[in-house]
Structure 1
Amino acid sequence: MRISSVTIRGYKSYGSKGVTIPLQDKLAGFIGLNSAGKTSALEALRKLFGSSLMEREIFASDFHIGKDEMPKDITERELSIEVRIDFPPDGDDSVPHFFSDMVVDDTDEDPYLRIRLESSWRKSELIPQGEIDVKTYFINVAEGEPEEADTKKIFPSRLRGLIQIHYVPAIRKPGEQLKYASGSILHRLLKKINWKDDFKEKFDTKISEINDAFKGLSEFNTIQTSIASFWQKFHKDERYSETTLSFGGSDLDSILKKLEISFSPTGTHKPFGIDELGEGYRSLFYLTLVCSLLDVEEALSKEKDEETIGTTRPLLTILAIEEPENHIAPQLLGRVIKILKSISEKENSQVLLSSHTPAIIKRLKPEQILHFRITDVYETEVNQIKLPEKTDEAYKYVKEAVRNYPEIYFARLVVIGEGDSEEVIFNRLMNVMDVDFDDNIITFAPLGHRFVNHIWRLLDALRIPYITLLDLDSEREGGGWGRVKYALQQLLQIGVKKEKLLSIEGGAIMTIQKLKQMHTWDLVHAKALQGWIRRLKKYNVFYSAPLDLDFLMLMHYPEFYKKAIPKGGGPQIPDKDEKPEEFEEKLTGSIQATLKSKKATGYTYSEEEKELMIWYNYHFLGRGKPTTHIQVLSSMSNEEIEECLPPVFTEIFERIASILNTH
């Protein structure tokens, strides 16, 4: 059995309409910016399935307060936390415990279980925190069906232990879990041991022998006699007149409370206690304790003749872990995730984790990730990662893209480019334009390729705004009108209204059939082309024109790029006046190489631009693009860059500022 969804309504940052968190896998990652509701989701499960009254207690502060509400004006509130639990199609040992309370959507559908905590708060003049009522129910009606008074049945406390949650907070305190105290991991582990009576008798005998041996020492007796003598002088109460110096407690439970763990060898030639370990190792040891608990529960059950699941161990153990990356070196995170995956694969375990780091997220499948964000009214919204169908050619590309650039999940804004050149240039322009991508949580992702519409769709689903910079590629195959057509088609695929996107003069709308022929339109119609490019800017799609970003930078900073050559290097350019034929041959070859066609003539480019293609060929087809841009941009001052900055960058940074101001 496993939890397949959690619905939270009216709890902390979850509004009164409710939010359903779908869990498609037994391992799920909750991601998003700080204060987006990830921890609240994990805590909500603890309110429902916590093993102690303290974990399950509902407080007045747990009830949601809207953005524009004044707490003093609120007189009552309600919250609910519901889980849907699915069972294997062939059933398992958990089914008999819940069979009478399962529901089904339709014939031939698998049955499932609904468990809901409901709580209400009412303002009270007598109780400072207000009156809080809490009840947990089985909901005996299918999801979406109307609920009546008789469709709710009290969830019996005897079943509470069958579903348990172990919550690992962001601040790890493994020392507390190594104490023999109720609720601690060590307590749960040692309770699994079958302490037989003959063992206890032998244990008590040995402890008595040790105490007697100490009493046989004359120096020990001297100390005890002195303490007893002075104690009797200080008070005359007969109830406490005798004193005995011995080990604190001689029974098994007393000794277990003194158990400690030590680590060796160490550089100090003495064992280390848990509190002497660094934060990272303490965090790792906390996870070790949790894994041991689950492993021992499973191992001990297998040693017994009869199955113990549902009697001495839970039917489902939920491991809810906050920020597993805390204090742990990046190279160890892969090992941590591997262990958590192995836990989730156990029959009676499910793992939910929250994280802020791409290093964790890139190790999860996109299907296992849930994105949390806070809306404009300060309420949590949860979205799944949308991928193309597995049969779609784009599936593998997009899956790998988001795995390689997991930073997009945490961004306030994503800038999409076509390659490494864009990333280098944007990193430099941050200083020039005084817009820090890190400070503003802006992520650059070189994902503007043939499947860009899927990246757009993914970001739309996560409610993350984005700006895209594409190459216009005039006179290259598929370039010019073809690139504009591509962007228009991709926008239509993600749901942009045709009536707005394809409107033309006179109020008419260009037909889809005509759009399909756009790539055949002649590039001499430059005015019309620029009109469509301006239209696309409204949808945050910009172009490096007339060719690509490398050529755009070369056009605006030609002298700086011409200087960026090794000693004795650079393109061998015949003298234009003295050797016109050789120069023309060099120019023609460079145009063809730049435009990637033996038929290319560069008819839409000026003579000056054509000559720059010789340098384009040298720098960007013969050498590394990022290396060249880094060398050139590092040699220029901010003022020199700003003086000749391509207008498209000014427009993009203005759009960035506008988006950040509204999000």
Structure 2
Amino acid sequence: MFIKSLTIKNFRCFGKGTDEKGTAINFNNGLTAFIGRNGSGKTAILEALNFLIGSDYLPTRIKEKDFNSDAKEIKDEIVIEGETEKPFFATLDVRSSTNQLETIIIPCNKIKITIKRREKPEKVLDDPFVINKYVLPIVGDIDESIFEEDKKARKASRISQIKEGYTVFYKLKDGQERNAKVISYQLTYNPNRLTKCPKSYYLSKDRDDDVSGNYSLIAKILTDLHWKYKKKQTGGENTISSEYDTLAGSLRDIVDEKSVLINGINEKVKAICCDDKNFQIDFVDIDQPYKSAFVAKKEGEKLLLPDNLGSGFNILIAYALFAYVADQEKTPIVLIIDEPELHMHSDWQKKMYEVFTNQTDLQFVYSTQSENFISLKNWKQIRSISDFQVFPKEEILQEQITATDGQNGTRADYLDDYAAKNLHISAILRENLELFFAKKCVLVEGPSEKYGLPKLLKLSGCVVENFSVSIIPAWGKTKIKNYQMICKVFGIDYFTIYDN
């Protein structure tokens, strides 16, 4: 896990919260799946996280509609803050208390964005919002073991917060202690000054944007490959260039055997500009061979682009591209995906979830409306959103309860027990994971009640199909408590019907 928690305040559907501190969201180690009904705030959480650690240029992304409906005043501001699992480091140039210029490495564990409306214009066509993004140091005594060896910079040994910013203490080689004042503006987010700071890649619902186009991820990768290609090129005879000249010459003879087209172009150009430009038909810019490259699948003699293969391939190719980039990066990578199940067959969904779960080098954060991308075996991965609150809540998980056999434990203990005993296979059927995506659910004993209850209610003038209610059969009265536990922990409204 690279990002430990996220706090959102006044951003879209998330307001100030009951404590005026916003909505706090804890992430699971490795993978976190957000589930909820349409409009519950899943995408808002993903985009807030991407704003925080992604590479988007925020002034072009922030709009008035990003402010919560209750944040109407000029003084109201959006706050997005993330805490990292492990420290990352900011390298700053400061002036010490003895008036010496020093380079200091400062450990940090938080990134924060504040967005507020501009009170008055400062220049023509100024941005309507004031956006600040900065890092927050770890306050207190610093364990020296967290630093890597770097003889060129001082390492902070203690950090204290002051009104203007922070005072950073460090030691000289002879053991003497010095300090320097770090003003808040010096902590402005600058990736070039940060090491080991998590970085995100966001795979939105528009899969095509990442596998094709001038500004897609594949275009950025090909640009990097072109740079590597140019770096490896040597002077003198270029075998690739000579081979291309032979191939291009053959192709030109096929399409313009007597050079009628090319000679005609050159004659007309020369007649106007009085200069022989020697135009020719070409196929690849040999100086930039990767510029026109593309991802394709060979079927017989044909090359098929992703669009020709079906939209489900876009997510697979995009994931492969992101995994490639993450492998090249030297920083922790968080892969954010909005509904990975889009356009994918159920079998592929299950396999992709398994791949995500077993991945250890990336942190995955995604939203989903598919039962195939969650599992009660890994219940700690699931974050359910209801009424703009995120479940499970720690206080509910730590509630002490007594089982029917008299054993005591917390709700978290019992869910761990469900997972350890593989009850997600034997007692809680996969199709019943529908309850996670229901607005309300009715828990019943078995299929007779599931299919009989709607008919009985219809006789009373109540048509269940007109309401967002799911009827979930527990397949046994003794198993109902398992479902009640799940509903209680994940904030699912439920009602239980059974006979004595």
Whole-angstrom distance in 2 between the partners of 1:148 and 1:435: 63
Distance 1:271 1:131, change over 3 A: closer
Kindly indicate whether residue 364 of structure 2 is the aligned counterpart of residue 351 of structure 1.
Answer: yes
**2:417 is matched with which residue: 385, 395, 413?**
395
Shift of 1:229: 2.7
**2:111 is matched with which residue: 109, 115, 136?**
115
Letter in 2 for 1:258: S
Distance 1:321 1:392, change over 3 A: closer
Letter in 1 for 2:200: I
Q: Which residue of 1 aligns with 2:319?
A: 287
Whole-angstrom distance in 1 between the partners of 2:463 and 2:125: 47
Shift of 1:230: 3.3
Whole-angstrom distance in 2 between the partners of 1:416 and 1:399: 17
Q: Which residue of 1 aligns with 2:267?
A: 229
Letter in 2 for 1:185: I
Kindly indicate whether residue 295 of structure 2 is the aligned counterpart of residue 261 of structure 1.
Answer: yes
Whole-angstrom distance in 1 between the partners of 2:126 and 2:456: 53
Deviation string 1:39-66 (CA, Å, 9 cap, x unpaired) is 1111112212222426974333322222
Q: Greater helix share, 1 or 2?
A: 1
Shift of 1:6: 0.9
Distance 1:391 1:48, change over 3 A: closer
Distance 1:250 1:457, change over 3 A: closer
Deviation string 1:575-599 (CA, Å, 9 cap, x unpaired) is xxxxxxxxxxxxxxxxxxxxxxxxx
Shift of 1:468: 1.4
Shift of 1:136: 1.6
- CA contact under 8 A between 1:82 and 1:116: conserved in structure 2? yes
**2:346 is matched with which residue: 325, 330, 345?**
330
Worse-superposed segment, 19-28 or 409-418:
409-418
Q: Which residue of 1 aligns with 2:449?
A: 422
Distance 1:76 1:185, change over 3 A: farther
Q: Percent identity?
A: 18
Letter in 1 for 2:417: Y
- CA contact under 8 A between 2:208 and 2:314: conserved in structure 1? yes
Whole-angstrom distance in 1 between the partners of 2:376 and 2:281: 54
Q: Which residue of 1 aligns with 2:150?
A: none
- CA contact under 8 A between 1:366 and 1:399: conserved in structure 2? no
Matches within 5 A, 1:248-327: 250-253=285-288, 255-265=289-299, 270-295=302-327, 297=328, 313-327=329-343
Whole-angstrom distance in 2 between the partners of 1:451 and 1:188: 52
Whole-angstrom distance in 1 between the partners of 2:491 and 2:27: 20
**2:36 is matched with which residue: 20, 32, 36?**
32
Letter in 2 for 1:466: Y
Q: Which residue of 1 aligns with 2:66?
A: 62
Letter in 2 for 1:119: I
**1:46 is matched with which residue: 46, 50, 54?**
50
TM-score (norm 2): 0.72
Q: Which residue of 1 aligns with 2:401?
A: none
Shift of 1:356: 0.9
Letter in 2 for 1:365: N
Letter in 1 for 2:83: R
Q: How many residues align?
A: 420
**1:408 is matched with which residue: 428, 435, 441?**
435
**2:493 is matched with which residue: 465, 478, 482?**
465
- CA contact under 8 A between 2:110 and 2:135: conserved in structure 1? yes
- CA contact under 8 A between 2:81 and 2:111: conserved in structure 1? yes
Distance 1:334 1:451, change over 3 A: closer
Q: Which residue of 1 aligns with 2:13?
A: 13
Higher RCO (C-alpha 8 Å, min separation 6): 2
Q: Which residue of 1 aligns with 2:165?
A: 150
- CA contact under 8 A between 1:412 and 1:465: conserved in structure 2? yes
Shift of 1:130: 5.8
- CA contact under 8 A between 1:330 and 1:359: conserved in structure 2? yes
SS in 2 for 1:365: helix
Deviation string 1:252-276 (CA, Å, 9 cap, x unpaired) is 42x212112332336xx63322221
Letter in 1 for 2:136: I
Whole-angstrom distance in 2 between the partners of 1:149 and 1:399: 55
Deviation string 1:134-188 (CA, Å, 9 cap, x unpaired) is 2221223569x998441543222314685321111123216x5245x45513533
Shift of 1:244: 0.6
Shift of 1:204: 3.8
Distance 1:247 1:120, change over 3 A: same
Q: Which residue of 2 aligns with 1:571?
A: none
Deviation string 1:10-50 (CA, Å, 9 cap, x unpaired) is 22112133111101221010000011111111111221222
Kindly indicate whether residue 381 of structure 2 is the aligned counterpart of residue 382 of structure 1.
Answer: no
Whole-angstrom distance in 2 between the partners of 1:241 and 1:206: 26
Shift of 1:250: 3.0
Letter in 1 for 2:436: Y
Letter in 2 for 1:197: Q
SS in 2 for 1:264: strand
Shift of 1:451: 7.0
Q: Which residue of 2 aligns with 1:512?
A: none
Shift of 1:402: 5.9
- CA contact under 8 A between 1:185 and 1:293: conserved in structure 2? no
Distance 1:262 1:417, change over 3 A: same
Shift of 1:391: 5.0
Q: Which residue of 1 aligns with 2:358?
A: 342
SS in 2 for 1:471: coil
Kindly indicate whether residue 218 of structure 2 is the aligned counterpart of residue 185 of structure 1.
Answer: yes
Whole-angstrom distance in 2 between the partners of 1:394 and 1:48: 32
Shift of 1:2: 0.9
SS in 2 for 1:426: helix
Worse-superposed segment, 184-193 or 162-171:
184-193
Q: Structure 2: which 5+ runs fail to align?
A: 93-103, 141-159, 167-183, 398-409
Deviation string 1:71-99 (CA, Å, 9 cap, x unpaired) is 6xx44541121111112xxx9xx679899
Q: Which residue of 1 aligns with 2:234?
A: 198
- CA contact under 8 A between 2:203 and 2:337: conserved in structure 1? yes
Deviation string 1:83-117 (CA, Å, 9 cap, x unpaired) is 11112xxx9xx6798994446xxxxxxxxx11112
Q: Which residue of 2 aligns with 1:171?
A: 206
Whole-angstrom distance in 1 between the partners of 2:376 and 2:222: 30
Distance 1:453 1:146, change over 3 A: farther
Whole-angstrom distance in 2 between the partners of 1:3 and 1:427: 45
Shift of 1:206: 3.8
Whole-angstrom distance in 1 between the partners of 2:69 and 2:126: 15
Deviation string 1:497-536 (CA, Å, 9 cap, x unpaired) is xxxxxxxxxxxxxxxxxxxxxxxxxxxxxxxxxxxxxxxx
Q: Greater strand share, 1 or 2?
A: 2
- CA contact under 8 A between 1:47 and 1:56: conserved in structure 2? no
Q: Which residue of 1 aligns with 2:470?
A: 443
Whole-angstrom distance in 2 between the partners of 1:8 and 1:411: 25
Whole-angstrom distance in 1 between the partners of 2:124 and 2:465: 47
Whole-angstrom distance in 2 between the partners of 1:82 and 1:390: 27
Shift of 1:452: 5.3
Shift of 1:281: 2.8
**What RMSD over aligned residues (CA atoms) do the two structures have, in Å?**
3.8
Distance 1:436 1:83, change over 3 A: farther
Deviation string 1:412-458 (CA, Å, 9 cap, x unpaired) is 21111233332131243354455454552212223484575664454
Whole-angstrom distance in 2 between the partners of 1:237 and 1:421: 87
- CA contact under 8 A between 2:248 and 2:283: conserved in structure 1? no
